[in-house]
Amino acid sequence: MKSLPQLKDIFGLFTSKWLAQLINLCAGFITARILGPRDFGLWSTLGMVFTYGYLSDLGVLAAIKRQIPYLKAQDKPEEVIATINTGFSLFFIFTLIAAILIFFLPAFVVLDYPLITGLRISALIFVILQLFFFLKAICLAEGRFILQSKSEILYNIIYFFCLIIFIRNFRIYGLFFSMFLSGLITIVYLFHSTGLRLYFQIYLKHLSLILKLGIQFFINTVLFTIYSTIDKLLVIIFLLRYDLGIYSIAVLPLSLVHLYSQAINESFSPYATIRYTLFQNSPEFKSYLIHILRLLSYSLPIVIGFSWLLLEPLIKYFLPVYIPAINPARTIIFSCFFSSLSSIVGLYLSASGKPYKGIPFLAFGIIFNFSLGYLFIRFGWGIEGVALSVLITSFLWAIIFSIFLFRELRMNFMVSVSEQIKLYWPICFMATALFFLDKISVFIIRILIFSFFITPLLLLTLKQKKEFSKILLRETNG
């Protein structure tokens, strides 16, 4: 693998993910408008089943994504194939067990009829989607970013058109059918494009390695999933289904804002593993991670700023019934910056094969976020209090995680403090600019002034990209 194409990988992944998520966002708006807050809340509840169902692989998928580039760095193609087949066998077994548990869950828990039916349909679709995610993960681990991006766009386009056709007459059942059909077609496309042949084979050597590494990733994934969904759990437990529908719209724009950091994470992940395998904690590897952090720090506030400005007019004109979602959406969108910086620490832990080191931080995030969110709900702040608790927790989490990363990279105290300031001043600058822009009532004037404010951040982003390109080019030529 060469180093230089990575910036192209980021751009390609970001563009395709942006298109896919834009389609998904439009689908979400249509779904919310047609279903209304109550049924959209039911759909969001069923979505939590998929979110937690993805944990059923016990970390196998994450372990495979780490092992494939690790073995490629050591030039062991036969072991790569053995790892894929062993991982697939485990993954498929765990997926079937999870689907059966989801299907029979209503027999043990008292639920209303729509939720019971939804769970049983979800169990069937879950198997299809899990296979889709497995194939996407293989593409990412092997550096086939464009193919992965095409599959994601294909899935969302098919889902969107099926949704348009079926949602009015079949409502939630139409959404389920849309997921099933789009997932099935995309799986066929991936098998055809990759030429991948999966076999039900288990090699004991690779089984032990996958399970040993997988259980660490599993614990991290479980804790991170709880951490990232604790806000919705708070709304489900302590507030009404109507509130969940409103809050689901508030968090919907996060998917677009997260795209850039996701593209960076996914495109750099296999390369980071290879670099760590070859260089360990060398100055080259440290520089690699620091430049990724700076690239995120300078560019992400621009995306957050645009999204913050667009939220109010979009919701007011297209989803007027969801106007209460504007304030929590504006609050929670800033958490994307801090969670994106934290994700680079996850990239380091994955590359170094030490995901267990992230467990204490995740546990702290869950306890703190739940406690703070519950306290704000008791204050009577509702979903706005939940959104505020997410922002505060993500900020503290990012600070703690970055301190941990700089210690792992053996940076001295003063250098660490200097890097912290460089990382966090751009989002402080953006928050200040938006505070003053909010006082301007004319939207066009807001955008024009905002375009002036972001100029220094754009220049810094371009400069950082240029410096990063030089590093990668020097490394490639070396």
Domain ranges within the chain, ordered by starting residue: 6-477
- Return the number of other C-beta atoms located less than 10 Å from residue 181's C-beta: 17
pLDDT value at 389 more than 70: yes
Q: Give CA torsion, residues 37, 42, 48, 53, to 10 deg.
A: -150
The pLDDT assigned to 151 comes to: 87
Question: What is the C-alpha separation between 154 and 147, in angstroms, rounded?
Answer: 10
pLDDT value at 307 more than 70: yes
Using CB atoms within 10 Å of the CB of residue 410, give its burial: 0 to 12 exposed, 13 to 18 middle, 19+ buried.
exposed
Question: Percent of the chain, pLDDT > 70?
Answer: 86
Question: What is the C-alpha separation between 54 and 254, in angstroms, rounded?
Answer: 20
Pairwise pLDDT comparison (114 vs 460), residue with the higher score: 460
353: which 2 tokens? 């094969």
- Return the number of other C-beta atoms located less than 10 Å from residue 180's C-beta: 17
The pLDDT assigned to 391 comes to: 93
List, in order, residues 6 or more apart from 336 with CB less than 8 Å away: 254, 257, 258, 261, 300, 304
pLDDT value at 61 more than 90: no
Q: Give CA torsion, residues 59, 253, 29, 311, to 10 deg.
A: 170
pLDDT band at 1 (very low <50, low <70, confident <90, very high): very low
pLDDT band at 387 (very low <50, low <70, confident <90, very high): very high
Q: Are 390 and 330 in contact (CB under 8 A)?
A: no
Closest CA to 371 of 220, 227, 181, 249: 227
Claim: this prediction has a pTM higher than 0.75: no
The pLDDT assigned to 283 comes to: 65
pLDDT tens sequence across 114-153: 667 777 888 888 888 889 989 988 887 887 877 887 888 8
pLDDT value at 4 more than 50: no
pLDDT value at 451 more than 90: no
Question: What is the C-alpha separation between 66 and 213, in angstroms, rounded?
Answer: 9
pLDDT value at 314 more than 80: yes
pLDDT tens sequence across 176-227: 888 889 999 999 999 888 888 888 888 887 888 888 888 888 888 788 878 8
pLDDT value at 471 more than 80: no
Q: Tell me what the pLDDT averaged over the chain comes to.
A: 81
pLDDT tens sequence across 244-290: 878 888 887 776 677 667 766 766 666 667 666 666 656 667 777 78
The pLDDT assigned to 118 comes to: 74
Question: Percent of the chain, pLDDT > 90?
Answer: 10
Amino acid at 123: A
Question: What is the C-alpha separation between 250 and 317, in angstroms, rounded?
Answer: 15
Pick from 98-112, 125-139, 323-337, 397-411: least confident: 98-112
